[in-house]
Homo-oligomer: A and B are copies of this chain.
Amino acid sequence: MFVSARSDYALRAMLAVAAAAGGGGGDGGGGDRVGELAKAASLAEVQDIPLSFLQGILLDLRRAGLLHSHRGADGGYALTRPADEITVGDVLRAVGGSLTTVRGLPAERAGYHGVAAGLTDVWLAVHGAIATVVDSTTLADLLTHAPANPTPTPTPPA
């Protein structure tokens, strides 16, 4: 599996939006107490993503119906659905297209012949295995699973 920077950033941004709204982390970025809208600039800072690049990604996410946006002063982004109804797969597909590609084409139309005919089934099986993982993991899962790293670290950075 190849996870591009774009996909990676998209996931991190979605998690940061979810945390800002649901009151999870409070990663100490800008300290904005606006309520539920997260600004692109603060997302970029919290997760170390180039701002201009992130804006294009947020646009894709909004077009895919995962984010709701609001312009003007006090604008920002929010999830369109609760964090436990958005899966990792949703985000990946929104910015990256198909989950599995063979020579640039979706797995099911690889077009093999002769002794290679069986390969299609392999790609389909791989595709299914990946989908099972990413479609059963929600943003909420990722936020609550708080692993070894206890997130808050209230001590200010350097």
Chain A interface (Cβ within 8 Å of chain B)? 1-5, 8, 11-12, 15-16, 18-19, 24-25, 27, 46-47, 88, 99-103, 107, 110, 112-123, 125-127, 129-130, 132-134, 137, 141-143, 145-147, 149, 151
Report the separation of the CA atoms of residues A110 and B11 in the bound assembly, to the nearest whole angstrom.
13
Report the separation of the CA atoms of residues A114 and B123 in the bound assembly, to the nearest whole angstrom.
34
Of all chain B residues, the one with the shortest Cβ separation from A118 is B142
Q: A109 to nearest B CB, angstroms?
A: 13
Query: Do the beta carbons of B127 and A145 come within 8 Å of each other?
Result: no
Option from B2, B88, B121, B123 in Cβ contact (under 8 Å) with A145: B121
Q: A119 to nearest B CB, angstroms?
A: 6
